[in-house]
Amino acid sequence: MKNLSLALNVVLVFAVGILYYLQFSTESGETPISEVANNSTGDYKVAYINSDSVLVNYDYFKEIQGELQKKGTQLEKEYQSRAEGLQREVNDFQRTVNSLTIGQAKALEEDLLKKQQNLRLYQENLSQQLLQEEAKLNQELYNKITSYLKLYSGETGIDLVVKYNQGSDVLYANSGMDITNEVIEGLNKVYNTAPDETNTVETDSSKSE
């Protein structure tokens, strides 16, 4: 049970690791979009985004994070219920073993060992279910953000959006290139007012790829 709890916690924390699966990040700024579009490297206009800020403030991410936590809690309760049932059987066996014949005790012990093994397999299955769900939500989140950035780049003329934070490959970027706030506002507007339009954008972008 402790192992499952740890696995669930790791997965929930890993949901935040979505930050690094995306290709964004750095400090938030207040620079207008018009100024961002004027920053260029050669013939390419570049901007950066803080993924931490985006995900903390993106309503869709809050929703799927809640869903993942709910799923994790549900699976942990299911496992705990089975584990407690098996523990009661073990306790009963230990309490009555002296009144059993050798054959009866051996048969019950083998049965309990088999149930214990099945419980471990069940634990692994629950953890795998949660990992698969996390991966699915991960991909959906990635699709929504990258689809929006394609629209955003078409409106602003930006050619490249990179992450700029500790651990990224970018060591320095002018704050005028920070589009975090504008992207957060745009993502929430699309998500809260036109979710069907977002799905259409994802479908169209997948076809073009």
Each residue of 4-22: pLDDT tens digit? 444 444 333 333 344 334 4
Between 147 and 43, whose confidence is greater?
147
Q: What would the two tokens of residue 192 be? A: 């809260």
Annotated domain spans of the chain: 2-208
Q: What would the two tokens of residue 177 be? A: 């290139």
CA distances (Å), origin 49, targets 31, 54, 206: 12, 8, 23
CA distances (Å), origin 41, targets 29, 46, 72, 165, 166: 20, 7, 45, 19, 22
- Of 197, 205, 162, 190, whose CA–CA distance to 60 is shortest? 190
Task: Tell me the pLDDT tens digit for each residue of 146-164.
Answer: 999 999 999 999 999 988 7
Cβ atoms within 10 A of the Cβ of 57, count? 18
Stretch (H or E) spanning 29: none
Are 119 and 83 contacting, i.e. CB atoms less than 8 angstroms apart? yes
Task: Tell me the pLDDT tens digit for each residue of 63-99.
Answer: 999 989 998 999 999 999 999 999 999 999 999 989 9
pTM, 2 dp? 0.62
Between 5 and 117, whose confidence is greater?
117
Place of tokens 């500790």: 166
Mean pLDDT throughout 23-52?
Answer: 58
Q: What is the pLDDT of residue 42?
A: 55
Asked whether residue 36 carries a pLDDT value surpassing 50, the answer given is no
Which residues, in sequence order, are bridge partners of residue 160?
A: 46
